[in-house]
Chains A and B, each alone.
Chain A
Amino acid sequence: MPKTLNRRDFIRISSLGLGGLAAANPIFDWLSGSVMANESLQETIKRIPTYCEVCFWKCAGWAHLNDKGDIWKLTGNDDDPHCNGRLCPRGTGGVGMYYDDDRLKTPLIRTEVDGKQIFKEASWNEAFDFIAKKMKKIADEHGPECIALFSHGSGGKHFGRMLKAFGSQNITAPSYAQCRGPREVGFFATYGEGIGSPERVDIRDTDCLVLIGSHIGENMHNGQVQEMSDAIDKGSTIITVDPRFSTAASKSKHWLPIKPSTDMALLLSWIHVIINNEWYDKKYVDKYTFGLDELKEHVKSYTPEWAYGITTIKPHVIRKTAKEMANAAPSVIIHPGRHVTWYGDDTQRLRAVAILNALLGSWGRRGGFYNPEKKKVAKLNIPRFPKPQKTWRDAFPGKFKLAGLALASGICDATIPAAGRDCSFKGWIVNGTNLISTLPNQANTIEAIQNLDLMVAIDTMPMEITGYADVVLPECTYLERYDNLRISGHREPTIALRAPAAEPKYNSKSAWWMAKELSNRLGLGDYFPFEEEEEELDWQLKQVGSSLEEMKKIGVKKYNRQYDDLYPLEGLPDYEFNTNSGKIELYSTAMEDEGYDPLPKYTAHEEPPTDFYRLIYGRAPMHTFSRTANNPNLTDLMDENKVWVNPKVAKEWGLKNNQEVWLENQDGVVTSFPIKVRVTERIRWDSVYMVHGFGHTDKRMSRAYGKGASDSELITRTKVDPVMGGTGMRVNFVTFLTEAPTKGAA
C-alpha cells in the first residue's frame, strides 16, 4: 500500500494517491529485486539532447536511455542559461508525456453514423486530403486569410510556415492577449522595447526584487526561480505584493497583503513618494527620460494616505518599501510579471511598473534589466510569403491599436458572424493549446467553433479542444522528434537542439512532417524544400559554424556576445531609445497619439457582491496550464486542485478542510465537478484561490478527468484592455454550493 497523507500533521505537497497505477510505469519492471540498492540501477547507455516542451521556458537537457534503449530520465544541460543543468519538476517529469498511455494514437475524422457524430480512425492520407480539400474550399469562397492558427508550442512554427505560405498571417497564441501582452505593450510604450522570454530581469545580481502578483516559485519559470534563490542567498530584499501569502511572499522581507484589483493605486503612490522625496535617480532621469514634469503633476494627489484607503496597505509601509527600492537603485527590479491580464487596465498598470523602474534607473543597469542578445541564424531559402489581403485587425476597426501580435480571443470573437464585420473566420488549426481552458468564456469559444467550416486539432493528448475538431492529428511528443533550433535571447546567445530520443509511439507524427505533407497537398511544397528535418537543421547549423553532428553531442552551443552591451546604460552613455522622443517616455506620446491616457490613472474595479469572493487563480510548480494534468509522473505529485478559503470565511459557511463544494460564479455558472476546500490563513477573506488547469471533462484523459475544478469554467466575464485587447480575467466572483447542484454536477 502506498503511504497515506494523514500520517503527518503538515500538508504534503506531493500527494501519493495513485498506487494502482504502478504497473503502468514501464520503467518500473527494470528494477530487479534481487540486488542491493547500489547495484540495482542502470547506467546511462546513451543520452540525446532535447529542449523541454512542458512549458515555454524551453530548458535544454538530455534524455537518458537505459540498457534496453528506452527513455529512462531527463536531466538539464549544464551549458544552458535557461536551466543551468537543472530541469524543473515538470521538465524532470516530462518523461510522463512520452509514457502516458492516454495519448492520441492515430488520426481521427468526425463522421456521422445513424445520426450520431463519432470519430472514425483514419489514415494520414485520408486526414491530409480531407484538410487540404476543406482549406482550398475556404480559400476559394472566403479567402485564405479566413483560416487561423492557434498555437502554443514548437509545432506552431511549422504550421505557421504552412499557413503563411497559404496566404494567412492570422497566427496567434493565447500567451499574448490572455497572458503577457499588456506587459510587452506597456514596456514598449515606455522604452521602445518589450520584455520578451526569458524575461530580461537581472534577478541574480539585484539588491531588491519587487513582485506584484508574480508568484515565482509557484510559477516554475526555471531560470527565474534559480536566480531568486541566488538573490535570497545574497541577502537581497524581496518585496511581494499579493493578496495571497504565496511561496515568494514567505521568502520576502516585506509582504504587502493588498486588496485585490488595487495594485495601480499602490504603484502610483510609490511613484508619488519617490518623486516627492526626490529619491529618483536624477542623472539618469534627466538624461534619458521624457515627461517628468507631467508625471510629477499627475501623481501629486496619489499620497500613501490616499492609497491606504484603497489598497489597505498602511502609509508607512508604502513609504518604507519605496525607500527600500530607492536605497537599492539602480540594482532594483519592479518585476513586470508574466500573466498580467487581470482587470482590463493592464497595459496602463504595466506602464506604471515601467515608469517606476525608469525613475529608479534600473533599465539597462546591473541588477535591473539587462540587454539580451540572440544569435542570428540564417533563414531558409524559401519563396516569399504572399501578402494577405486582410488580417484579424480588420475585424476590429479603431480598436486595440497598440496590439503587437494577433489576439487569440479576438480571432475567436471574429469567428462568430456579426453585422458589418469585415473578417469572419471559417477555419481553425489548433496546435498544442487547449482553447477550452486557455480562452475565457467557454460558451463563446464553443459558439465560435460551431460557425467553422473546418477545425483541425493537433495535440499529443485528447484535450477537450480535440473533441470539437473535424480532424484530430496525433502529434508525437518532444522526446520523439526534431524541431526548429531554440534560438533565445539571454545574457549570452545560445542555440539548442531537440533530437528524437525514441521513435514516435503509436501512429503519431512530428508537426514538421505534418506541415510538410499538408503543404505538398496544397501545392506549397517549395516552402519545405528539404526531404527530412535533419537536412534542414544541418543546413541551418552549418550557417552558424556548427552541424547536426556537433549539436547531437553538445545539445547547446554558446556564442560570444557580438556587442559588449549587457548593461548598456552603465556609466550613463549617450543612448537613443526606440520611441517618438528617443527617450524613455514617462509620458507616452505613442499612447497619446492613439487616443489612450499618456499617464496611467487609477480606476476602481467592481467588488464582489455579498457572499461572493473574487476568483484568483495561479500556478503550481509541478503543472503547466492544463496540459500536464494527465501526465502520470506529475499527477503523482499533484492530482487535483483545491479552493483556498480563509478560516473566517470557512467558519461563516461551515466549511471544513477537504469538504467538497461546487463553485458558482456571478453568471450562475457552476463548476462541472466539486472541488475540495483548503482552509488556510494564506488567502484574504475577500478572495478565493485555485490552481489553474484542473477539472478536466474529457474522459479520455483517465488520470485528469473530474479531478478538482476548472477555473476556466468560471471565467465567463472579462474586461478587455482597450489598448491591446488583453482579456482581464480577475473580474469574476464565486460563491460556494455545499450540496450537489441539480445540473452541472458530475
Chain B
Amino acid sequence: MRYAMAIDTKKCVGCSDCVVACQTENNVPIGYCRDWVVEATSGTYPDLSMEIRSERCNQCTNAPCVRCCPTEASHIVDGGIVVVDHDECIGCKACITSCPYDARFVHPEGYVDKCTFCIHRVEKGENPACVSVCPTKCMYFGDTDDLNSEISQLLRKRKWKTLIPEAGTEPNIYYLT
C-alpha cells in the first residue's frame, strides 16, 4: 500500500481552505501550517499563465528526513506515511535542513511537526481534512499500489509532475498539469 495525493492544478483556485482545514483539524497553532499555497505566474501582460498549487510534506518514499533523524523519531509507517514521534524528537532540526520542500517546522512545544496525511482520519477510512474540504475538489487521495484506485487511474490518464524530482526523494504528491 502506498498512500499518495494528486492535486489538479487546473482546478485549484488557491483559496487556502486546505490550510485552515488542516489547522483546525490538527490543532496546528495559529502562525504555523502544515500545508500552504503557491502561485506562480509566467509571461508578460497579456500573454500570461498561472499555476496554483497546494503544497505539503511529499511523504517521500526515499525520505531524507527519516535517514538523517538521529533518534528515529521520523519514521515511515504502513502506507508509506512519514510521521514524527513527538516523544522521541529532540528538536535538532536535522530533518528540517534535509527536506528539499521546506515542509517541516518546530512546533512551539519543541518537537518537529508536519503533514501526517491526517493518518488518524485515513485509519478510519476518511480522506485527509484538506482533501475533504477542498471546494474545487482538486485533491485526490488514495493508494497508488492499487491500480484501480481513482488516483492510479488519474495518474495514467493525465499529465503530471512532482516537485524537485532531481532530489531523488521519490515524492508521493503528484500535480496534475
Interface residues of A (CB under 8 A from B): 1-3, 7-8, 10-14, 16-22, 24-25, 27-28, 30-31, 33-41, 72-76, 83, 85-89, 92-93, 95, 217-218, 220, 222, 225-226, 228-230, 232-233, 245, 247, 250-251, 255, 257, 621-622, 632-634, 636-638, 646, 680-685
A233-B11 CB under 8 A given contacts A11-B38, A36-B86, A226-B135 = yes
Q: Write the nearest CB–CB distance from B48 to chain A, whole angstroms.
A: 5
Contacts of A11 in B (CB 8 A): 38-39
Encoded as 1 (CB less than 8 Å from any A CB) or 0, chain B from 129 to 159 comes to 0001111111000000000000000000000
Complex CA distance for A73 and B26, rounded to whole angstroms: 10
Question: Is B45 a contact of A14 with CB atoms below 8 Å?
Answer: no
Complex CA distance for A40 and B52, rounded to whole angstroms: 31
A229-B39 CB under 8 A given contacts A95-B24, A622-B16, A681-B48 = no
Complex CA distance for A622 and B13, rounded to whole angstroms: 11
The contact sample of 10 A-B pairs, CB cut-off 8 A, is: A18-B30, A20-B31, A25-B29, A34-B86, A35-B86, A41-B26, A93-B20, A233-B11, A247-B50, A250-B52
Known: A3-B32, A621-B15. 7 other contacts (CB 8 A): A13-B39, A18-B31, A41-B26, A41-B120, A220-B15, A257-B45, A682-B41
Asked if B61 CB lies within 8 Å of chain A CBs, one says: no
Question: Is A245 a contact of B23 with CB atoms below 8 Å?
Answer: no
Complex CA distance for A104 and B83, rounded to whole angstroms: 41
Contact for A41 among B27, B37, B110, B135, CB less than 8 A: B27
Interface residues of B (CB under 8 A from A): 10-11, 13-17, 19-21, 23-27, 29-33, 36-41, 43-46, 48-50, 52, 83-87, 102, 105-111, 116, 119-120, 123, 132-138
Question: Is B87 a contact of A682 with CB atoms below 8 Å?
Answer: no
Contacts of A622 in B (CB 8 A): 15-16, 20
Question: Is B17 a contact of A89 with CB atoms below 8 Å?
Answer: yes
A2-B52 CB under 8 A given contacts A12-B38, A39-B120, A86-B134 = no
The CB with the most chain A CB atoms within 10 A, among B13, B23, B84, B120, is that of B13
Complex CA distance for A229 and B135, rounded to whole angstroms: 8
Q: Write the nearest CB–CB distance from A579 to chain B, whole angstroms.
A: 36
A229-B49 CB under 8 A given contacts A35-B86, A633-B20, A681-B43 = no
Complex CA distance for A637 and B48, rounded to whole angstroms: 25
Question: Is A245 a contact of B46 with CB atoms below 8 Å?
Answer: yes
Contacts of B49 in A (CB 8 A): 250
Q: Write the nearest CB–CB distance from B138 to chain A, whole angstroms.
A: 7
- What 9 A-B pairs have minimum CB-CB distances, sorted nearest first? A217-B13, A621-B15, A19-B31, A229-B136, A250-B50, A22-B29, A89-B17, A73-B24, A257-B46
Question: Is B17 a contact of A87 with CB atoms below 8 Å?
Answer: yes
Question: Is B41 a contact of A14 with CB atoms below 8 Å?
Answer: no
Contacts of B45 in A (CB 8 A): 245, 257, 646, 681-685
